[in-house]
């Protein structure tokens, strides 16, 4: 499969027709979003005993409180609002061959939290409440391919992965890639694209949505090899291809990486994250309009009234999390013996099922640290922010999940460095190859969603025409 993945990634260009299709989708698919007070959300109620905000059906999600204790950290304890959505949704991409080239069926989808309207999403992007019809709207297109095991298809990827651990409590979605061997009717709002074309579109701000990126990261690239002139080259792209190859040239063995992750998780066994009533969160203020932190930092919980075209339901209301500021999600990368390595961080987030997942080198909203002590400032943040143009390999602002988060955007950045990172000084960081990350992505709860986005962004550099020196 990896050979066909790489070949499809090399199939680029020809996007003029896509641009026309995308513009037309933007006219037909829309959301008109108006802010409304939390107390006025039709279909939602505030529990008088707890202050929790939940849907009248008992489905979808609730906004509750979370109490966190992290002994030894710069901020050892806090409380916050968090989204509790225990059901597992489906994020799935159908793939098939046209003229021997693998194509992905992508969807133009609008979400109320999207800053720019339509974004490119997976074939299926649906919560369990949606695909089981709790909203009493239209059926989710193509859902049968991902639920009917009797259909003739090949399962390329099928793994449950986490969502944002800072805003979701133990939220997971099923990430699936299925190859079909039968003709598939292309419905309105859907389009077949090569992996290379999707990768090209990853260079465009706010175009490929978060759910598409997390599934794309699960594509198998292991086994790719530099060919021709690149085989003997020491340029960035050749090092990137070798990083995908697997088995050779990694700084740490896979066994060492797994032992390190287990060791870090064991060290953080005393982390406590417990759900509490929303009325009991400290340092947060609430009125009929919204919920916000007393410093004005982090995020707000707001209410929205949505009118939508091209959705299963045409009108609804809901609470949303509104982050404050554009975040920074970045990895340092380094060529080690001709193989590109990515500096991964064993990161604690209160909403993770297993407390620790591998995240990017830096993952934060820099402004949130203005009122905290210098010790709380993330390692490598200053280095990433000071990176020059000659170090930057990828730099694009991309949106996060628009169904629960309002205008959540992060600057995704890949920065090449030649610095060493001693494990004695930085025990929670390790250099890893993309092949090793791909191996971990076959399993649940190892690589967080921000890192998965950056893995997709790094894969997109395989098909770029420019060769970095």
Whole-structure pTM value: 0.94
Between vectors from CA 71 to CA 68 and to CA 77, what angle results, nearest 5°? 35
Q: Is pLDDT larger for residue 209 or for residue 246?
A: 209
Is 90 exceeded by the pLDDT of residue 469?
no
At 160 the pLDDT is 96
Is 50 exceeded by the pLDDT of residue 455?
yes
> CA nearest 298: which of 119, 86, 75?
75
At 223 the pLDDT is 60
At 269 the pLDDT is 85
Distance CA 120, CA 204 (A): 11
What mean pLDDT value characterizes the chain? Answer: 92
Distance CA 161, CA 13 (A): 31
Under the banding of pLDDT at 50, 70 and 90, the label for residue 376 is confident
3-state helix/strand/coil string of 59-123 = CCCEEEEEEEECCCCCCCEEEEEEEECCCCEEEEEEEEEECCEEEEEEEEEECCCCCCCEEEECC
Distances (CA, A) of 143 to 23, 147, 350, 390: 25, 6, 32, 44
At 467 the pLDDT is 37
Mean pLDDT, residues 424-452 taken together? 97
Is 70 exceeded by the pLDDT of residue 432?
yes
> CA nearest 213: which of 345, 400, 396?
400
At 465 the pLDDT is 47
At 245 the pLDDT is 86
Mean pLDDT, residues 230-255 taken together? 84
Q: 231 near 238, Cβ under 8 Å?
A: yes
161: left (phi over 0), alpha (psi -120 to 50) or beta: beta
Is 80 exceeded by the pLDDT of residue 416?
yes
Is 80 exceeded by the pLDDT of residue 4?
yes
Under the banding of pLDDT at 50, 70 and 90, the label for residue 224 is low
Mean pLDDT, residues 426-444 taken together? 97
Highest mean pLDDT among 14-28, 131-145, 226-240: 14-28
């Amino acid at each position: 499969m990896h050979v066909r993945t790489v070949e499809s990634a090399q199939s680029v260009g020809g996007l003029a027709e896509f641009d026309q299709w995308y513009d037309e989708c933007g006219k037909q698919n829309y959301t008109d979003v108006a802010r409304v007070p939390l107390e006025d959300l039709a279909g939602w109620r505030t529990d008088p005993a707890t202050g929790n905000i939940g849907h009248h059906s008992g489905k979808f999600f609730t906004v509750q409180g979370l109490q966190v204790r992290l002994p030894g950290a710069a901020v050892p304890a806090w409380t916050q609002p968090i989204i509790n959505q225990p059901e597992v949704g489906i994020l799935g991409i159908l793939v098939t061959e046209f003229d021997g080239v693998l194509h992905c069926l992508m969807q133009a989808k609008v979400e109320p939290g999207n800053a720019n309207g339509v974004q490119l999403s997976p074939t299926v992007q649906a919560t369990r409440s949606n695909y089981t019809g709790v909203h009493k709207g239209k059926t989710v297109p193509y859902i049968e391919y991902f639920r009917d095991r009797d259909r003739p298809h090949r399962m390329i990827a099928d793994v449950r992965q986490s969502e944002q651990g800072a805003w979701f409590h133990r939220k997971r979605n099923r990430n699936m890639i299925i190859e079909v061997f039968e003709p598939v009717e292309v419905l309105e709002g859907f389009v077949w694209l090569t992996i290379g074309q999707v990768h090209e579109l990853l260079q465009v701000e706010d175009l490929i949505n978060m759910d598409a990126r997390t599934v794309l990261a699960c594509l198998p690239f292991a086994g790719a090899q530099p060919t021709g002139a690149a085989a003997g080259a020491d340029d960035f792209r050749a090092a990137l291809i070798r990083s995908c190859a697997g088995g050779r040239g990694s700084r740490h063995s896979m066994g060492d990486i797994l032992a390190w992750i287990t060791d870090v998780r064991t060290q953080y066994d005393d982390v406590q994250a417990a759900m509490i009533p929303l009325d009991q969160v400290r340092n947060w203020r609430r009125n009929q309009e919204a919920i916000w932190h007393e410093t004005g930092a982090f995020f707000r919980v707001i209410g929205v009234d949505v009118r939508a075209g091209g959705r299963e339901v045409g009108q609804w209301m809901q609470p949303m999390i509104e982050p404050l500021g554009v975040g920074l999600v970045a990895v340092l990368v380094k060529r080690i013996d001709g193989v590109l390595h990515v500096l991964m961080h064993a990161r604690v987030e209160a909403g993770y099922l297993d407390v620790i997942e591998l995240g990017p080198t830096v993952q934060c909203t820099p402004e949130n640290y203005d009122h905290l002590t210098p010790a709380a400032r993330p390692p490598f943040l200053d280095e990433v922010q000071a990176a020059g143009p000659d170090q930057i390999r990828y730099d694009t602002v991309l949106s996060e999940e628009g169904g629960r988060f309002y205008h959540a955007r992060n600057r995704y950045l890949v920065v090449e460095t030649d610095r060493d990172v001693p494990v004695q000084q930085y025990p929670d960081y390790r250099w890893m190859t993309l092949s090793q990350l791909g191996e971990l992505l076959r399993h649940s709860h190892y690589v967080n969603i921000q890192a998965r986005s950056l893995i997709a962004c790094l894969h997109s550099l395989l098909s770029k025409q420019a060769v970095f020196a």
